[in-house]
Amino acid sequence: MSKRRSTKQNRRLSTTRQRRQQHLLDVKVRARRASARRLQKGFFVLSLLLILLSLLGAGLFGAQRLLNSLFFTNPDYAIHSIEVTSDGDLGRDAMLRAAQIEDGSNIFSINLSAVEDRLRALPQVEEVDVQRLLPDKLVIVIQERRPIAWIASADAKKTGFNYDGAFLVDRRGIVLQPKGSAPEYMTLPVIIGVDLRKVTVGQPVDNDPVKAALELIRECPETLQSRFQIATIDVSKEYSLVVTDKQRSLVTFSPDDLTDQLRRLAMLLSYCEKNSKELQSANLMAERNIPVVFNEPAEAVASPSPQPAVAQTTRSEQPAGSPQPQAQPIVRRALLVTRPHKVEKADKSPSSNKNTHKKTKSSELKRFNG
C-alpha cells in the first residue's frame, strides 16, 4: 500500500484582516510625514518673511534716520528768511499768521499746498504761489483781489452814497471789506439797489442783476474806451440796469445781451461826437427805434432877432444887481433806428414830409417831439 505524499499549497502568510490593518498603518505614516513636511515648509516661509520684514523695517528706519539727519532735523535747512510779495494792502504779519509759518521751522516740513489753501481763505486774496528756495528761504507771492465797484442799498438814491455803509466787490463778485478812504476806490462805479443783508464778506454776491452790472463794468472799457465812464448803476429794478455816466447821461440797459447793447451805444456816441451833440438819455432795451434824448447847450442855439426899443426899455426897468435870466438848454428827442454798424444823420429840412416813407440805407436818427 502506497502512502500519499502531501503536496505543498500556496497559502498567504497573512489574513485579510491583517493586510487591511497593515495598509491603514502605512497610510497614517505617510500622512504624518506629509503633514510634517508641510509644517516645516510653512515655518521656513514664515521665517523667511519675518527676516525680510525685519530687514525692510531696519532699512526704512535707517533711511528715516538718515533723511532726518540730512534734511528734516538739519539746522542748515531751518527757515531764516521769508519773502512776502503782495500787490495790495495786506500786511506781512497778517499773511504769516494766516499761513502759520514761523521763523526757524524746517523748510521741508512746510506743506506748501496747505499754506496756499490757508492764504486763499482770506477774503482779500485771489491767487497764491509759495515756493522753497534752498537751503533756508521761503517765497510767498500773493495777488490780492482788485475791487472794481461799490455795492450800496437802495437808500443811497435818497440819502446819498455813504462809503461807510457800502462794500467793495471784485470782478468775480466777491464781497470785500471797505479799505478806508483810499482815493483810488472813491472813483469806482457804485451799484445801487442791493440788499446788503444778504451780503457776506468773502463770498460772491448771489444776485443776477448785480452780476449783469459787473459784466457791464468789465466790458464797457473794452468796447467804449473812455467815451462812456460809468458812475452809478441802479439794479433795484431787476429787469433793467439804469446807468448814469460821469457826464450825467442816463442810459437804460437790459441785463441780457450786453455786448450788442454796448455796440449800439458806441454807434450813438459816435453820432454825438460827429454832430457835436450831448447825450441826455437813451433806452437800449429796444433793439430798434431806440428812444434818444439830446441835450444841446444854449450856445449852439441861434440868438433871436433884435427886439424893438420896447424890449430894451423892459430890460432897463429891472433893478440893478438882479440876476439875469439864463437861457435853458434845449432838449431834442430822437429815435435811433439801428441798422448794421453805421450812423447817419437824417434829413432835417422843413420841406420833408413826415408821412413819406423812405428806405434807410444804414442807421439814422429821427427827431420826434422836437
Q: CB of 247 within 8 A of CB of 263?
A: no
pLDDT at 25: 54
Pick the closest to residue 300 from 265, 272, 320, 334 (CA basis): 272
pLDDT at 72: 77
Domains and CATH numbers, the chain: 76-144 (3.10.20.310)
Q: DSSP readout, 51-76?
A: HHHHHHHHHHHHHHHHHIIIIIT-GG
Question: CA geometry: angle at 319 spanning 316 and 322, to 5°?
Answer: 110
Q: Taking the CB of residue 216, how many other CB atoms lie within 10 A of it?
A: 23
pLDDT at 339: 52
pTM (two decimals): 0.62
pLDDT at 259: 92
d(CA 34, CA 43): 14
Q: CB of 183 within 8 A of CB of 190?
A: no
Q: CB of 343 within 8 A of CB of 362?
A: yes
Q: CB of 257 within 8 A of CB of 212?
A: no
d(CA 303, CA 305): 7
pLDDT at 189: 92
Q: CB of 69 within 8 A of CB of 61?
A: no
Q: CB of 230 within 8 A of CB of 306?
A: no
Return per-residue pLDDT of the chain as tens, 370 residues.
Answer: 455 555 555 665 666 766 666 655 555 667 777 888 888 888 888 888 999 998 898 888 888 787 777 777 888 888 888 899 888 778 888 888 888 888 788 888 889 999 999 998 888 888 999 999 988 899 999 998 888 999 998 887 766 777 777 899 999 999 987 765 567 788 899 999 998 888 888 889 988 999 999 999 999 998 888 889 999 999 998 899 999 999 899 999 999 989 999 999 999 999 999 988 899 999 999 888 889 998 766 554 444 444 433 333 333 333 333 344 444 445 556 666 555 444 443 444 444 444 433 443 344 455 544 4
